[in-house]
Amino acid sequence: MTDVRVRFSPAPTGFLHVGGARTALFNWLFARHHGGEFLLRIEDTDVARSRQEWVDGIQHTLEWLGLHWDGEPVLQSTRFDRYLEAADHLVKAGRAYECFCTEDEVKARNEEALAAGRTPGYDGRCRSLDPARRASLAAEGRPRSIRFRTPDSGTSGFDDMVRGPVSVEWPTIHDFVIVRSNGTPVFFLANAVDDADMEISHVVRGEDLIDSTHRVLALREALGHAGRPKYAHLPLLVGADRGKLSKRHGAVALEDFRDSGYLPHALLNYLALLGWAPDDDREVMSIDEIVAVFDLDRVTHSPAFFDYQKLDWMNGEHIRRLQVHELAADVLPFARERYGERLDVRVFEAAVGLARERATTLVQIADQAEFLFVADGDLVVADTSWDRLVATERVREILDAVIAHLEKCEWTVEAIDLRPLLETLGLKARKALPAVYAAIEGSHAGLPLFDSIHLLGRGSAVARLTAARERLGPDR
RNA sequence: GCCCCCAUCGUCUAGUGGCCUAGGACGCCGCCCUUUCAAGGCGGUAACGGGGAUUCGAACUCCCCUGGGGGCACCA
């Protein structure tokens, strides 16, 4: 396949969500795999709902993901003249007409039809107004929109790269608005014009747009553009109830995933597996590996459930594949935000090395290192962990012995190892250690104890154990 | 109401007429490892929606049913 030119064309009416990111990813992968171009087009024809902050947000998020686009983004709001010119051309050619029905009137008639059990859709009453009537309606100051006249008979069809031949009878598609009464162009028109002007070779998007394809294709043909792009409609992403993925299912904004500590590559890897799979059993893959084997012919057909648990697993896998210094750099912003000036970068890197083996998100790594960056007096021992400490057999004896040991032992991880000491006391490490974890880290479960004590330093370690011992009070 | 699309373990998927007593992964359960928690290792649980048809032979082809999703905007 040659000359691949695709585009991702979000409407800037909100943040980039997982569905949009998946669409962007599949376009990007397709372009990169075939050595083609991946363009960005902002579909901001709905002036009322589009906001500059969303335009910026979407671009920043795509960059964070690493889905870099070629060339400058095309903003449809800067191309209204071009669309209006096309609309004018269609009216002159008799393919579109002025409609004086107001939005409310059309809506009312549709509701009436629906209530009566009839099929809704524009009834075509302004289709063939004579010039005099048109002039008088315009003179009345009636709002005027432009509608595209759809064929009254015949079939519209196209060959979808993932679904095969798709067709629909024209009579089921009613005349639709291409220019609003406020003079702004509508999606269908802008889409048809831009895909032609930008010489888009393949349109890859969500299945929710499959029905609109017939209208865009008809416009394109009416505008006199030879040929058509190839279309590929991707299965939708759904939530736990199998409905369209939305906020009530959990995080859907890409920013939320970023802020929760997910790696862009893990997210991309997971998203790639939603509706696509390589021809072998690989799942955890680098972006380059995916690009090398990705193609649209292996895209699946049915809606996919976004599984947060599998994403967590995937993120952990990618975390473990990073070098410690790379991972530390990724976690650093989260740690800085939490620990500010108290953060000791050398200690932090060591902690990341320990946390790496047991984390699913960057935030977890930052959190697990917390005990290293709080003052001894500010360490909070979680209630359940304190209960566990209190319930530990011979806990006073254990703490006293550990304190004594740490006060004088050589300060190496090997020397700090408490197991020989516990063995001397006839205690099982597995039973006794959770109490020490709690006193040192504030939790009975956390980073490996001996390394943690080593990183903390003798003074703090002894101080924390002593504080726990004092809080415990004398044996009664 | 009308139109379109879809249908393999709970979830993501492999599978394109015999290699399938249906494979992998997440999750879950058990065991091992173990300095807590994880991670890791090993094992287990679990699916071709139903009915016809074609065929020597159907998860794979066709039809019907059922179920799910999407669309029918002066949103995109």
A237-238 and A304-305 as β-strands: parallel, antiparallel, unpaired? Answer: parallel
Q: State which of A204, A234, A264 marks the end of a domain.
A: A234
pLDDT tens for A249-268 read 777 899 999 999 999 999 99
Q: Which residue is nearest to nucleotide B38 (CA to C1')?
A: A358
Looking at residue A476, its pLDDT comes to: 59
Say which DSSP state A473 is in: -
Instruction: Tell me the C-alpha distance between A127 and A240, whole Å.
Output: 45
Mean pLDDT over the full length of chain A: 94
Residue A229 has pLDDT above 70, yes or no: yes
- The nucleotide whose C1' lies nearest the CA of A214 is B4
Residue A151 has pLDDT above 90, yes or no: yes
Question: Active site residue: A107, A247, A428, A431, which one?
Answer: A247
Residue A475 has pLDDT above 80, yes or no: no
pLDDT tens for A79-111 read 999 999 999 999 999 999 999 999 888 888 888
CA A69 to chain centre: 17
| Contact between residue A161 and residue A138 where contact means Cβ atoms under 8 Å apart | no
Coil, strand or helix at A36: coil
Instruction: Tell me the C-alpha distance between A234 and A3, whole Å.
Output: 21
Helix pair A383-390, A458-472: axis angle to 10 deg: 70
pLDDT tens for A192-226 read 999 999 999 999 999 999 999 999 999 999 999 98
Q: Is A230 annotated as catalytic?
A: no
Residue A323 lies in a domain: no
Top pLDDT among A123 and A328 is at A328
Instruction: Tell me the C-alpha distance between A348 and A339, whole Å.
Output: 11
User: Which residues, listed in sequence order, are joined to residue A169 by a DSSP beta bridge?
Assistant: A155
Instruction: Tell me the C-alpha distance between A42 and A58, whole Å.
Output: 9
- Residue in A268, A456, A254, A262 with CA at minimum distance from that of residue A351: A456
- Both structure tokens of A162: 């993932």
| Integer CA distances (angstroms), A137 to A21, A143, A318, in order | 46, 9, 64
CA of A82 to C1' of B61 (A): 49
Residue A54 lies in a domain: no
- Residue in A289, A283, A285, A327 with CA at minimum distance from that of residue A307: A283
Residue A120 has pLDDT above 90, yes or no: no
Which of chain B's bases lie under 7 Å from a protein CB?
Answer: 1-8, 10-15, 23-27, 35-40, 68-76
Which helix H or strand E contains A169, and what residues bound it? Answer: strand A164-169
Residue A9 lies in a domain: no
Residue A11 lies in a domain: no
Residue labelled with tokens 């800037």: A12
CA of A322 to C1' of B70 (A): 40
Its domain, for residue A186, covers 80-234
Average pLDDT over residues A144-166: 94
Which helix H or strand E contains A232, and what residues bound it? Answer: strand A230-234
CA of A318 to C1' of B62 (A): 45
Instruction: Read off φ and ψ for residue A38, nearest 5 degrees.
Output: -120, 110
Q: What CATH number corresponds to the domain at position A94? A: 3.40.50.620
Instruction: Tell me the C-alpha distance between A313 and A283, whole Å.
Output: 11
- Both structure tokens of A352: 């990341």
Instruction: Tell me the C-alpha distance between A233 and A252, whole Å.
Output: 21
Amino acid, res. A346: R
Residue A417 burial (CB count, 10 A): 17
Residue A453 has pLDDT above 80, yes or no: yes
Q: Write the DSSP assignment of A221-241 as a string of letters.
A: HHTT--S--EEEEEPPEE-TT
Residue A325 burial (C-beta neighbours within 10 Å; 0-12, 13-18, 19+): exposed
Q: State which of A234, A266, A282 marks the end of a domain.
A: A234
pLDDT tens for A406-445 read 999 999 999 999 999 999 999 999 999 999 999 999 999 9
Residue A329 lies in a domain: no
- Residue in A441, A455, A313, A465 with CA at minimum distance from that of residue A379: A441
Average pLDDT over residues A114-142: 86
pLDDT tens for A321-351 read 999 999 999 999 999 999 999 999 999 999 9
Q: State which of A187, A208, A234 marks the end of a domain.
A: A234
Residue A295 lies in a domain: no
Average pLDDT over residues A366-384: 95
How many domains are there within chain A? Answer: 2
User: Which residues, listed in sequence order, are joined to residue A253 by a DSSP beta bridge?
Assistant: A17
Instruction: Tell me the C-alpha distance between A438 and A441, whole Å.
Output: 5
Looking at residue A110, its pLDDT comes to: 84
Q: What CATH number corresponds to the domain at position A388? A: 1.10.10.350
Instruction: Tell me the C-alpha distance between A130 and A136, whole Å.
Output: 10
Looking at residue A220, its pLDDT comes to: 96
Residue A112 lies in a domain: yes
Looking at residue A2, its pLDDT comes to: 60
Looking at residue A156, its pLDDT comes to: 94
Residue A71 half-sphere exposure toward CB, CA atoms < 13 A: 14
Residue A89 lies in a domain: yes
Looking at residue A117, its pLDDT comes to: 75
